[in-house]
Amino acid sequence: MAPTIPLLILAIPLTMFLVLGLLGPKMSHKFAGWLGVCGMGTTLVLAYYTAFTYFFSGSTDFIAGADRLQYIVFNQDWLQFYDKLVIRLGFLLDPISALMLVVITTISFCVHLYSLGYMEGEKGFQRYYAFLQLFSFSMLGLVVATNIFQMYIFWELVGASSYLLIGFYYTRHSAVAASKKAFIVTRFADLGFLIGILILSYYTGTFNFTDLTSAPAAGGLAYQINEVTAFGAFSSFEGATFMGCSLFSLALILIFMGGMGKSAMMPLHIWLPDAMEGPTPVSALIHAATMVVAGVYLVARLFPLYILDDCTALTFITVVGAITAFYAAVVACTQVDIKRVLAFSTISQIAFMMVALGVARPDIHDGMGYMAGMFHMFTHAMFKALLFLGAGALIHAVHSNDYTAMGGLHKYMPITHITFLIGCLAIAGIPPFSGFFSKDEILTAAYQNHFFWGAWMSMVAALTAFYMFRLYYRIFWWNEPDYSSHHHHPHDAPWVMTLPLVFLALVSCVAGFIPFGEFVTWNGEPYHIHLDMGVAIPSVVIAVCAIALATVMYKKENPLPDKVAAATGGLWTAAYHRFYWDEIYMFVTHKIIFNLICRPIAWFDRHIIDGSMDGMAWVAQRLSISIRPLQSGNVQYYVWVYLAGVLLLGAAAAVCILL
């Protein structure tokens, strides 16, 4: 494949960012918006062409027999430390990067088009579109990286651009606080990521993914996942340990730490719910479909190394993912802000993907968990973007994020109602919607690994169906409030907002029937998906029961939800307050770190260090004042001082001689 089209996939968003950022204030809102849409639409077409060529062209550069290959379109030297350690900037095309090209450009284009209506008349409209382009460029650069250091560079660009988008409403204190919170939390995680990269590269002598996990195929630029190569990277550590822990395992866990930050895994999850302070389309782009799956993508990219680690790192990933999934699902059951419900839903679903990767083993259906996690990443991107954009249409109609200000909207917003319902059915895992197929594969992989993991994730799936239909009924069927205070009754959004909803709803209806295992597996070998009825039927029954419970409690106004909340005692209150994680962080940072550690250090610096320096300066100053008269310019005074000095020296010499 010629590098022209891949280069354009990266160059167009970057160029649009520069044009809109520098010249945007001189453009009209309409022109700037459509320029951004056209730019991303062009990128979408090129990305689709590239992915289609990779999957269906049959070129020997991309496929060998039935196995999918990795193909380096271009790889340019950037920084060279020594002969073997070089940082390059390139474009790697393989099953997961081709998949992410489709996901990122699809969601980004839908958000660009949707924003024409949602952000109409907003101050900083041109700036908004410039930031969208920067984020899209950063995310595209991340997923096509040929080496882990290039990924880290774009990883940080993603963090910077998300900071700009979350804090778009910079006049609001809450938005500024949310953007800072997201930036700081993810920076701590990225520090672990960087340390892990340095450890891995120090022992293996390379940053390149192909050198770590692959071997050259027939073509000079084509590679194939190779367990021998991965084992060579593992062997380069030669049993190195740190405090009794395998240094190889530690490096992989530290690398995963970066993924924990980006994907909002506990205990680094606190930034994501607050990030909903940004515009709702931003939530759909960053926090539903692209940025938050970066951690999943990172683990998937290095998966051949993770499976060699005696399952230490993968077990750690499984435990973190399982705890996070359950925690986020419980919290989502109590929230009243529709964007926060979807935010905690995102945390839970991303954790689903992490668990899928964590339970994957080559000896368990050829690593089915890997394929299931990638499948769910694709389907989740579509239906979660649909739900977020649907939430934006609702907020646009009633001017509130709180579902208590909504109700009975199925009569006023039929298109939004139907598309939102499709999104709810998809995430609940109801056939034939896409979420059923991907979630079923994850549950099957979890049960195959251990019954406990399967049962645990089935419980999380039940909670997912419950809280999503709790949200659905409260918005569309609960007794409607008085809408007479609005200038007009709620109604469906303009076509630029409804068109993305309809498109994403259609994709959520049919995406589950894609033979995903034929295209994306951990080693490139095709995997034929077969529904495990022993898992599928119980999971559907559990989801239907959860939906039925939500129907009884929330379809019409009744006292049952309040009774249940009261019966749970402080549990509901604790879940509503996110189990006080924010308060815990505030206590640790302010009371312990700031007051008990930083303040004494500041006092020591100010009074001891600075005091010592100030004291020495004071002494020097007083001495200079005291000896200043010696330089009076009076010759007679100098003579007398000279004579006095001679006499003193003479007296001292005489005393010494006599003694």
What percent of the chain stands above pLDDT 70? 98
φ, ψ of residue 524 to 5 degrees: the values are 85, -10
3-state secondary structure string across 425-467 = HHHHCCCCCHHHHHHHHHHHHHHHHCHHHHHHHHHHHHHHHHH
Average pLDDT estimate for 90-117: 90
Q: Which of 73, 3, 91, 64 shows the shortest CA–CA distance to 217?
A: 64
Asked if pLDDT for residue 47 goes beyond 90, the answer is yes
**Per-residue confidence at 488, pLDDT binned at 50, 70, 90?**
low
CA–CA distance, 216 with 90 (Å, rounded to integer): 17
**Per-residue confidence at 174, pLDDT binned at 50, 70, 90?**
confident
Q: Which of 134, 250, 135, 234 shows the shortest CA–CA distance to 199?
A: 250
Average pLDDT estimate for 282-311: 83
**Per-residue confidence at 468, pLDDT binned at 50, 70, 90?**
very high
The pLDDT score that the predictor gives to residue 423 is 92
**Per-residue confidence at 484, pLDDT binned at 50, 70, 90?**
low
Q: Which two tokens stand for residue 379?
A: 């389907």
Q: Using the 8-state DSSP alphabet, how is residue 631 labeled?
A: G
Amino acid in position 230? A
CA–CA distance, 43 with 141 (Å, rounded to integer): 13
| CA terminus-to-terminus distance, the chain | 101
**Per-residue confidence at 292, pLDDT binned at 50, 70, 90?**
confident
**Per-residue confidence at 465, pLDDT binned at 50, 70, 90?**
very high
The pLDDT score that the predictor gives to residue 206 is 83
**Per-residue confidence at 182, pLDDT binned at 50, 70, 90?**
confident
Average pLDDT estimate for 112-121: 86
Of 30-39, 136-145, 639-648, the least confident = 639-648
The pLDDT score that the predictor gives to residue 339 is 87
What percent of the chain stands above pLDDT 90? 27
Asked if pLDDT for residue 222 goes beyond 90, the answer is no
Mean residue pLDDT across the chain: 86
CA–CA distance, 492 with 503 (Å, rounded to integer): 16
Number of Cβ atoms within 10 Å of the Cβ of 388: 31
Which residues are within 8 A (CB) of 310 and not within 5 positions of it... i.e. 6 or more apart?
246, 249
Asked if pLDDT for residue 162 goes beyond 70, the answer is yes
Q: Which of 366, 357, 248 shows the shortest CA–CA distance to 305?
A: 248
Of 12-21, 59-68, 624-633, the least confident = 624-633
Task: Return the SS3 of 559.
Answer: coil
Asked if pLDDT for residue 16 goes beyond 70, the answer is yes
CA–CA distance, 393 with 48 (Å, rounded to integer): 28
Task: Return the SS3 of 72.
Answer: strand
Average pLDDT estimate for 58-78: 85
The pLDDT score that the predictor gives to residue 483 is 66
3-state secondary structure string across 507-539 = HHHHHHHCCHHHCCCCCCCCCCCCCCHHHHHHH
Residues 219 and 59: beta-carbon distance below 8 Å:
no
Better pLDDT: 330 or 118: 330
Residues 456 and 322: beta-carbon distance below 8 Å:
yes
Average pLDDT estimate for 455-477: 91
Q: What is the DSSP string of 74-106?
A: EEEEEEESSSS-EEEEEEEESHHHHHHHHHHHH
Average pLDDT estimate for 402-409: 81
The pLDDT score that the predictor gives to residue 355 is 93
Residues 529 and 516: beta-carbon distance below 8 Å:
yes
The pLDDT score that the predictor gives to residue 593 is 81
The pLDDT score that the predictor gives to residue 81 is 73
Q: Which two tokens stand for residue 209?
A: 């993914």
At residue 112's C-alpha, the angle toward residues 107 and 115, to 5°, is 120
CA–CA distance, 211 with 208 (Å, rounded to integer): 5
The pLDDT score that the predictor gives to residue 246 is 82
Q: Where are the beta strands (DSSP E) in 174-330?
A: 214-216, 222-225, 241-242, 245-246
Number of Cβ atoms within 10 Å of the Cβ of 425: 25
Residues 538 and 454: beta-carbon distance below 8 Å:
no
Residues 398 and 490: beta-carbon distance below 8 Å:
yes
Phi-psi region of 569 (alpha: psi -120 to 50; beta: other; left: phi over 0): left
**Per-residue confidence at 398, pLDDT binned at 50, 70, 90?**
confident
Asked if pLDDT for residue 44 goes beyond 90, the answer is yes
φ, ψ of residue 399 to 5 degrees: the values are 60, 40
CA–CA distance, 162 with 159 (Å, rounded to integer): 5
**Per-residue confidence at 49, pLDDT binned at 50, 70, 90?**
very high
3-state secondary structure string across 224-266 = EECHHHHHHHHHCCCCCEECCEEHHHHHHHHHHHHHHHHCCCC
φ, ψ of residue 479 to 5 degrees: the values are -50, 130
The pLDDT score that the predictor gives to residue 525 is 84
Asked if pLDDT for residue 426 goes beyond 80, the answer is yes
**Per-residue confidence at 133, pLDDT binned at 50, 70, 90?**
very high
Asked if pLDDT for residue 219 goes beyond 70, the answer is no
Integer-rounded Cα Rg, in Å, for the chain is 31
CB neighbour burial string for 254-274, b if at least 16 within 10 angstroms, e if fewer? bbbbbbbbbbbbbebbbbbbb
Average pLDDT estimate for 97-106: 91
The pLDDT score that the predictor gives to residue 547 is 93
Burial of 228 (0-12, 13-18, 19+ CB in 10 A): exposed
Residues 333 and 463: beta-carbon distance below 8 Å:
yes
Task: Return the SS3 of 482.
Answer: coil
CA–CA distance, 349 with 344 (Å, rounded to integer): 9
Better pLDDT: 639 or 353: 353
CA–CA distance, 148 with 158 (Å, rounded to integer): 15
- The pTM of the full predicted model, rounded to 2 decimals, is 0.88
Burial of 278 (0-12, 13-18, 19+ CB in 10 A): buried
Average pLDDT estimate for 153-165: 90
Residues 423 and 394: beta-carbon distance below 8 Å:
no
- Helix-helix angle 533-554:560-567, to 10 degrees: 110
**Per-residue confidence at 288, pLDDT binned at 50, 70, 90?**
low
Q: Which of 453, 410, 457, 455 shows the shortest CA–CA distance to 438?
A: 457
Asked if pLDDT for residue 567 goes beyond 70, the answer is yes
- For residue 267, whether the previous peptide bond is cis, meaning omega lies within 30 degrees of 0, is yes
Average pLDDT estimate for 564-593: 84
Asked if pLDDT for residue 289 goes beyond 70, the answer is no
Asked if pLDDT for residue 487 goes beyond 70, the answer is no
**Per-residue confidence at 626, pLDDT binned at 50, 70, 90?**
confident
Handedness of CA 238, 244, 247, 249 (dihedral sign): positive
Asked if pLDDT for residue 137 goes beyond 80, the answer is yes
pLDDT digits (tens, 9 = 90+) for 252-264: 999 999 888 888 8
CA–CA distance, 151 with 28 (Å, rounded to integer): 35
Number of Cβ atoms within 10 Å of the Cβ of 49: 13
Of 188-202, 227-241, 374-388, 483-497, the least confident = 483-497
CA–CA distance, 529 with 437 (Å, rounded to integer): 9
